[in-house]
Structure 1
Amino acid sequence: MPTSSGTFPFPTPHTSTLKDRSHMATHPEVAALLGRAHRLGSDPRNTNYAGGNASAKGTVTDPVTGSDTELMWVKGSGGDLGTLTEDGLAVLRLDRLRALKDVYPGVEREDEMVAAFDYCLHGKGGAAPSIDTAMHGLVDAPHVDHLHPDSGIALACAADGEKLTAECYGGKAAWVPWRRPGFQLGLDIAAIKEANPDAVGVVLGGHGITAWGASAEECETNALWMIRTAEAFLIEHGRKQPFGSPLEGYAALDEERRRDRAALLAPVIRGLASQDRPQVGHFTDSEAVLDFLAHDQHPRLTALGTSCPDHFLRTKVRPLVLDLPPTAPLEDAVARLKALHVEYREEYAAYYERHATPDSPAMRGADPAIVLVPGVGMFSFGKDKQTARVAGEFYVNAINVMRGAEAVSSYAPIEESEKFRIEYWELEEAKLRRMPKPKPLATRVALVTGAGSGIGKAIAHRLVAEGACVVVADLNGENASAVVAELGGADKAVAVTVDVTSEERISAAFREAVLAFGGVDLVVNNAGISISKPLLETTARDWDLQHDIMARGSFLVSREAASVMIEQGLGGDIVYIASKNAVFAGPNNIAYSATKADQAHQVRLLAAELGEHGIRVNGVNPDGVVRGSGIFAAGWGAQRAATYGIEEDELGEFYAQRTLLKREVLPEHVAGAVFALTGGDLTHTTGLHVPVDAGVAAAFLR
């Protein structure tokens, strides 16, 4: 469907922030290959993340024989074109690769050829060859690109794709009927290229496109010509309403209302999507998603499932779709989602049983990866934020493909049995087995207050290092954003500006957390200030401010956290950063120590109350954390130094010398205690306070 600007609504290109790494290459063809890959892979109109591959062939001197040897460099398994480096290329000898045709045992045993690629490798290092290696090696062209553009897949997944391909390209691109990626597909494409000498590429039925050229420049030109020609063809020949008529009551809510609705639904949906294994979530309310769900053909199209293998490997064969308008009462929407989830799991299990063979891998889980809510948006899920985000991006690709196919024909993806062969392919299973073991806090979403500096910042760093996604919450938004940048950006952490004395600001912070990651599993109450004064100098305002931020603030944060965690039904952790002062009476410290004692008792009270929901509540009692501390830098350090009659820069050592271990306590030590409480080993511990004070005998708990 053309937009008001006259362009087809495929993803818009973005400017790549990648530096051209081609100068690092050791061979001119490799340099050309990397430059081409970066340009093609940085534009989402050309291919999706980690989708497609590119290759180049060239001659080198064999270091053993001294003779010229033909090699092929091709993107290895699991790489991404837009960020490809030379280390991400598989390097193979062409003579040996092409000789595999003589030992090919036939399509029924073609998977065995993947192991044979290892015997064609040249030299040490490089990436593992992918399943598409044969396509590149067997096609007689110096440069080959295999891509997954939405426009090309729209032709590939149209009911009359072969006819449309001929109309679109006029003989300059040929049609290849659907075949699962592998050695036989490489043979098929090579034969079709030979039979069509004027063709610059092919459309692969149900899959994507492949283009070739005598040089890197010509190959890129041919690939882009195929993509842009398909886009123009769909605009020129497509009907205006490919998704049918508008559904009454299913139009998108305004932005504020739909994001409020999404925030209320997100923990429930994440809990449903995490029945088999915990998942991180991502929310999308793009125009493409909302428009699709607002039209009457979306139930039919979603039931047909996603299109090319790259799509459904990340989105599952079909999404879960809520069949209620966005104005339905929230409790009705929640009840319906839960009922649909039961149906989805039953249907997925039946799909597995229909197609599984005795040697099929075990069913990996029956929860949806994509949940569509009309008028609100899309929730996507994965083992980490990047995987969840990319799954959502792939489903937007699928929507674009459906739009294109329906505009000029009808959407007809590959058969369900073929989807199963891809999803439960032993080669895909082997790829999963090679993945590294998840980190201890993988899939956990943490919110840390006061995380813009000091102890909170150290905790945020430790949690991300252990695999968690972190919401960096701080009164100082600039500090919070700086910490997020240190942590690696939006796939690892997000910043929220929050005043913990405000119920509204706390609610807004959790709203942003669940929209960013789907929910919250781990909350650290760390925000605080310190007012050090004798009793007679402590004003009621001092007392109220100290208690509003720490006692009241911790209560408000914990209440909001518990609400989200209970909705998720996945348990959770709440950790209070209390203090040695919660149990030890020091001079000139009435307001601070009293509020820390309040926090310490909140731990006990909430541990008793929330245990039935699987929510554990524990505390950490630090002491003397001077280095990097925002509290000490804000005047507390000078006040405490004056109390003890020492210089402020001597305070850390002073605290260390009064401990049993004679060691200074640093923010990282407190962060280590938080991880110890939440990292998986203390699964049956709640209501505990862990001292991190290097040994202060007077503060021993008893």
Structure 2
Amino acid sequence: MNHGIFTFGQDAKESYDRMIQMVGKAEAYLQNKKAWEIKIKDSASSNSNDEENQSMYTLAGLRNDVSTVAGFPVIMSTHSDDETLNFARRADIETISQQGPATPDHVIRTKRVPMLGRDVKKFAREYKKYFDEHHTQTPQELTMLDPAPRIILDSEFGLITLGRTAKDASIAEDIYRHTIEIITRSEMLGGYRALPSTDLFEVEYWDLEQAKLKRQGAPKMFAGEIALVTGAASGIGKACVASLLARGAAVVGLDLDFAITSLHERKDYLGIQCDVADESALGSALEKTVQHFGGLDMLILNAGIFPVSQQISDISTSEWTKVMRVNLDANLILLNKAHPLLKISPRSGRVVVIGSKNVPAPGPGAGAYSASKAALTQLARVAALEWGNDGIRINILHPNAVFDTALWTEEVLQKRAANYGLTVDEYKTNNILHKEVTSRDVAELAAEMCGPLFAKTTGAQVPVDGGNDRVI
């Protein structure tokens, strides 16, 4: 079955020691035959910013094509290092890569062969042909698996791995990196050979192998989809990351705080330290998002600053400009750059803007903040009108008095509560419903607004404030 080496013994240690001995012999043989060291040429490219942008949209388009053929959105990771580029650019790649996996059970993770280039429809036709040729030879009735590739070899991008989740794409990467080494060394020894397609088909559609996949259970709401959250290191943004991850999305978090990079240690999260007021940094963050996960489906615009309370007569031009740059301009830039990606999202793009109660009911001393959030809300409303033809939904949430954020220290809470003659607990629930509003409350609604429940809603403004008489 081409599974490799098996060793046995009277106990586990004896079996293990024999395995080490056999592997040592194999390594020595490869070294003796000059097939151990794999020489890798420098394949680094020096693309311009325009070329990198085009590559980003090319990759996102490829992910959309694969998702269409698969029948569900996929995560797609691109690995453009010297090893993968060297392999993808081999003159004999069409021969050595199309024989089959190194060991047959890999077929359920990588398909029988990788796709060469970007013709997804052709790959799907060939997979259907492979299924049609072999399924009649089995006694039981079989249903064809999705015909989408799990491995793509591309001379420009190197190795591209795909899966229903980021974990699946990562497993495919691990497997195929080993396969690259095996094929390369085999060719140095005289030639790589895999099992015949008939044998591989039996393994791919073997009940026990299929059971491995079925044990994963039903996919979550956002399985295969990618979300980006700004201001994600704390407060509402941090809660949005958690809510989206819980629903199966792969999430990219942006924040000025370096802590964003280690917010979650898992395959479906990428934290990027980023100043949203820096246009080039935003562009770079989107490129990393696409390289890491394949595209962009959901965008949560949360980053913002709340300046010190000032009367309008005291607001300096520099302070006003700073607030507008972060709360308004940065979001315009990100919307502009993200639009082409959202437009080709497999399930259509979704944007949730975190506004403020200060939009419908502003308060004194918050002129710059209120104006910036009002302008952002108006921008989102116009975007909802303009992007409807692209299937992109844009909705706005207006939270108020969310106290579990860095802005509200215990000292500030006590001072504000005292101003109203209330205790801190009374102040936190000083709304019509007498309910405290938390970051998680806002995040859960933001996530749901990206889901099927709000599939026919766009341009909406929803308060998350426990009820405010001025808003109502």
- Scaled by the length of structure 2, what TM-score is found? 0.91
- Give yes or no for the alignment of 1:599 onto 2:359: no
- Give yes or no for the alignment of 1:252 onto 2:43: yes
Cα shift readout 1:171-195 (whole Å, capped 9, x = no counterpart):
xxxxxxx4xxxxxxxxxxxxxxxxx
Cα distance, 1:525 vs structure 2? 0.5
Cα distance, 1:391 vs structure 2? 0.2
The residue that corresponds to 2:255 in the other structure is 474
Q: Return the letter of the residue paired with 1:237.
A: K
The residue that corresponds to 2:448 in the other structure is 676
Cα distance change of structure 1 residues 515 and 465 upon mapping to structure 2, 3 Å threshold: same
Q: Distance in 2 between matches of 1:252 and 1:508?
A: 21
The residue that corresponds to 2:427 in the other structure is 654
Q: Distance in 2 between matches of 1:640 and 1:586?
A: 18
Q: Distance in 2 between matches of 1:466 and 1:344?
A: 31
Pairs within 5 Å for 1:482-631? 482-484=262-264, 489-531=265-307, 532-627=309-404, 629-631=405-407
Q: Return the letter of the residue paired with 2:218.
A: K
Q: Distance in 2 between matches of 1:256 and 1:631?
A: 41
Q: Return the letter of the residue paired with 2:314.
A: E
Cα distance, 1:251 vs structure 2? 7.1
Given that residues 226 and 250 in structure 2 are in contact (C-alpha distance below 8 angstroms), is that contact kept between their aligned partners in structure 1? yes
Pairs within 5 Å for 1:379-418? 379-418=160-199
The residue that corresponds to 1:13 in the other structure is none
Given that residues 414 and 423 in structure 2 are in contact (C-alpha distance below 8 angstroms), is that contact kept between their aligned partners in structure 1? no
Q: Return the letter of the residue paired with 2:32.
A: E
Q: Distance in 2 between matches of 1:298 and 1:269?
A: 20
The residue that corresponds to 2:3 in the other structure is 207
Match of 1:641 among 413, 416, 419: 416
The 10-residue stretch of structure 1 (262-271 or 497-506) with the greater mean CA deviation from structure 2: 262-271
User: Alignment length, in residue pairs?
Assistant: 465
Q: Distance in 2 between matches of 1:663 and 1:639?
A: 18
The residue that corresponds to 1:666 in the other structure is 438
| Percent sequence identity over aligned pairs | 28
Given that residues 72 and 224 in structure 2 are in contact (C-alpha distance below 8 angstroms), is that contact kept between their aligned partners in structure 1? no
Given that residues 161 and 169 in structure 2 are in contact (C-alpha distance below 8 angstroms), is that contact kept between their aligned partners in structure 1? yes
Cα distance, 1:317 vs structure 2? 0.9
Q: Distance in 1 between matches of 2:175 and 2:46?
A: 23
Pairs within 5 Å for 1:7-46? none
Pairs within 5 Å for 1:683-702? 683-700=455-472
Q: Distance in 2 between matches of 1:606 and 1:372?
A: 37
The residue that corresponds to 1:227 in the other structure is 23
- Give yes or no for the alignment of 1:354 onto 2:130: no
Cα distance, 1:306 vs structure 2? 2.1
Given that residues 529 and 631 in structure 1 are in contact (C-alpha distance below 8 angstroms), is that contact kept between their aligned partners in structure 2? no
Pairs within 5 Å for 1:182-201? none
Given that residues 44 and 82 in structure 2 are in contact (C-alpha distance below 8 angstroms), is that contact kept between their aligned partners in structure 1? no
| Structure 1: segments with no counterpart, 5+ residues | 1-177, 179-205, 323-336
Given that residues 521 and 571 in structure 1 are in contact (C-alpha distance below 8 angstroms), is that contact kept between their aligned partners in structure 2? yes
| Higher Cα Rg, which structure | 1
Cα distance, 1:634 vs structure 2? 12
Cα shift readout 1:590-620 (whole Å, capped 9, x = no counterpart):
1111111112122211122222222211111
Given that residues 33 and 189 in structure 2 are in contact (C-alpha distance below 8 angstroms), is that contact kept between their aligned partners in structure 1? yes
- Scaled by the length of structure 1, what TM-score is found? 0.62
Cα distance, 1:671 vs structure 2? 0.8
Q: Distance in 2 between matches of 1:213 and 1:436?
A: 37
Secondary structure of the corresponding residue to residue 161 of structure 2: strand
Cα distance, 1:375 vs structure 2? 4.5
Cα shift readout 1:482-529 (whole Å, capped 9, x = no counterpart):
422xxxx14031111111111101111111211221222111100011
Secondary structure of the corresponding residue to residue 429 of structure 1: helix
Q: Distance in 1 between matches of 2:394 and 2:306?
A: 24
Q: Return the letter of the residue paired with 1:347.
A: E
Cα distance, 1:242 vs structure 2? 9.2
Q: Distance in 2 between matches of 1:620 and 1:444?
A: 22
The alignment's C-alpha RMSD in Å is 2.8
Q: Distance in 2 between matches of 1:255 and 1:515?
A: 16
Cα distance change of structure 1 residues 267 and 650 upon mapping to structure 2, 3 Å threshold: farther
Q: Distance in 2 between matches of 1:361 and 1:257?
A: 49
Considering Cα pairs closer than 8 Å and 6+ residues apart, tell me whether 1 or 2 has the greater RCO.
2
Cα distance change of structure 1 residues 450 and 651 upon mapping to structure 2, 3 Å threshold: farther
- Give yes or no for the alignment of 1:455 onto 2:227: no
Cα distance change of structure 1 residues 511 and 582 upon mapping to structure 2, 3 Å threshold: same
Match of 2:103 among 259, 283, 308: 308
Cα distance change of structure 1 residues 369 and 615 upon mapping to structure 2, 3 Å threshold: same
Given that residues 342 and 350 in structure 2 are in contact (C-alpha distance below 8 angstroms), is that contact kept between their aligned partners in structure 1? no
The residue that corresponds to 2:205 in the other structure is 424
Pairs within 5 Å for 1:3-152? none
| Structure 2: segments with no counterpart, 5+ residues | none
Given that residues 261 and 273 in structure 2 are in contact (C-alpha distance below 8 angstroms), is that contact kept between their aligned partners in structure 1? no
Given that residues 324 and 368 in structure 2 are in contact (C-alpha distance below 8 angstroms), is that contact kept between their aligned partners in structure 1? yes
Cα shift readout 1:669-695 (whole Å, capped 9, x = no counterpart):
101111221233222111112211000
- Give yes or no for the alignment of 1:319 onto 2:114: yes
The residue that corresponds to 2:67 in the other structure is 274
Q: Return the letter of the residue paired with 2:13.
A: E
Given that residues 577 and 619 in structure 1 are in contact (C-alpha distance below 8 angstroms), is that contact kept between their aligned partners in structure 2? yes
Cα distance change of structure 1 residues 217 and 256 upon mapping to structure 2, 3 Å threshold: farther
Given that residues 315 and 370 in structure 1 are in contact (C-alpha distance below 8 angstroms), is that contact kept between their aligned partners in structure 2? yes
Q: Return the letter of the residue paired with 2:439.
A: P
Secondary structure of the corresponding residue to residue 397 of structure 1: helix
Secondary structure of the corresponding residue to residue 211 of structure 1: coil
Secondary structure of the corresponding residue to residue 404 of structure 1: helix
The residue that corresponds to 1:433 in the other structure is 214
Q: Distance in 2 between matches of 1:638 and 1:242?
A: 63
Cα distance change of structure 1 residues 292 and 364 upon mapping to structure 2, 3 Å threshold: same
Q: Distance in 2 between matches of 1:240 and 1:692?
A: 62
Given that residues 225 and 297 in structure 2 are in contact (C-alpha distance below 8 angstroms), is that contact kept between their aligned partners in structure 1? yes
Cα distance change of structure 1 residues 533 and 401 upon mapping to structure 2, 3 Å threshold: same
